[in-house]
Amino acid sequence: MVDAVKHLLMIVPFFPPMGGGGVYRPLSFVRYLPAHGWRTTVIAQRGDAFWIRDDSLTAKIPPECRVVRTATWSGQGVLSAARAGRAGSPKRSSRRFGLVRRAGAAVLVPDTYLGWYPFAVRAALAEARATAFDAVYSTSPPETSHLIGDAVRVRTALPWVADFRDPWMNLRLLDPPSPLHARIHRVLEARVCAHARAVLVTTRWHQSVLEAAYPRARVIRVSNGYDGDEVHSVAGLVPGAHPMRIVHAGMLTQKRSAVPFLEALARFFERRPEARADLEVEFVGAREDENERAAAHLRLTNRVHFRDSLAHDDVLRLERQAHVLLLIKHVDSRYDGLVPGKLYEYIGLARPVLALAPAGEARSLVEIRRRGETADPGDVDGIARALDVLYGHFRGGTLERAYDLSEAPDLGRSRQAGELARVLDACVAGERIA
């Protein structure tokens, strides 16, 4: 433990008991920053302000971390109307959700969580009056959290670090509703990059985009990673002998669809009919209903199963006991430079990966490290060929030896918390960040 402890005020929109991919990066910082000389206070939305929930993650918040949960007028109430099934269901209607998202983007800028702004700013300033903080951190998406971070910076004069888990959503990943909306998003992104003492990104591609757009901004890459303690806790588990099990854990939303994979699986079964009784696929987590409709249409329901969200520890056990872990990236060129955080967990779990990803950083991570097979996310024939290779290794007993499944400590969350601490220390000291 470092002797001189500093205090970080964190603006975190998605935090346990919320679940989903956006939770793990800030949660890991909260867990590992104390070892690098930083304690934390988190300003978060109340736990029911998101459509995915994982109460088990709450136990992973260290007791010394203060969490202030606020009310919100987020768009979640509107978005809930787009979901199929009971409240809290991790499945929603693809068509209805798309309509609601477009409507929300037209009237709420930068995003449908804009209604959290007044509550979060008020709570953050109340904490700042009561406690001496050394720096402010905000994370997106949603980008509203950066507007909150900037407001706190103005009123407290604290150095502020803006962490982009993904690029600015309604400017770089989704189509803005109008040229006027695009201009507003550009102005807001530019303001964040100009005011933040440091701008964190997770990929080289995003770093190059922001450095080109804002040459004066200090853009620093702190990649995603995996939690070493979590993956070591399931390291003793092994897959069963038969059938070959492929597991996808995570959301199937916003153009990240399983439909091309399902079409490829049906094609693979046509070519290798003996594999139909010896291969199963399991999707776990939040999803849009087009995926199950496609499985039924392709007559795969006896080999492909969908499960609702599970506690993260249960997901880790399921992943570790899979023969192959499936990664699906968006079928949209704007997402090519993104690396899903789930890929790092897959690497940490030391299982072969089937990565459906275009040329880019995510695909290179799999190929350079020899972690599995790759194919373009929309290439049905290419996916079928990759399935054939993996199944051939499975039948030949060479699946474990065909790929490099060694540990990757350079991708550990503790290391990334250390990189964040280095940035924060430099910000507090007024030094240039190397």
Tell me the pLDDT tens digit for each residue of 213-258: 999 999 999 999 999 999 999 999 999 999 999 999 988 876 789 9
Would you say 115 and 140 are in contact if contact means Cβ atoms under 8 Å apart? no
Other Cβ atoms closer than 10 A to 314: 15
89 pLDDT above the threshold of 80: no
Other Cβ atoms closer than 10 A to 226: 24
So what's the pLDDT on residue 80?
Answer: 45
So what's the pLDDT on residue 79?
Answer: 52
CA nearest neighbour of 275 among 328, 324, 346, 316: 324
pLDDT of 166-224, one tens digit each? 999 999 998 899 999 999 999 999 999 999 999 999 999 999 999 999 999 999 999 99
Share of the chain above pLDDT 70, in %: 91
Burial 269-279 (b: 16+ CB within 10 A, else e): beebeebbeeb
pLDDT of 306-329, one tens digit each? 999 899 999 999 999 999 999 999
Average pLDDT of the residues in 89-110: 62
Single-letter amino acid, residue 248: H
So what's the pLDDT on residue 287?
Answer: 86
pTM comes to: 0.89
Q: Which domains, from first to last, does the chain contain?
A: 6-225+412-429 (3.40.50.2000), 228-410 (3.40.50.2000)
Share of the chain above pLDDT 90, in %: 79
Rounded CA separation 132/144 (Å): 24
DSSP state for residue 34 in the 8-state scheme: G
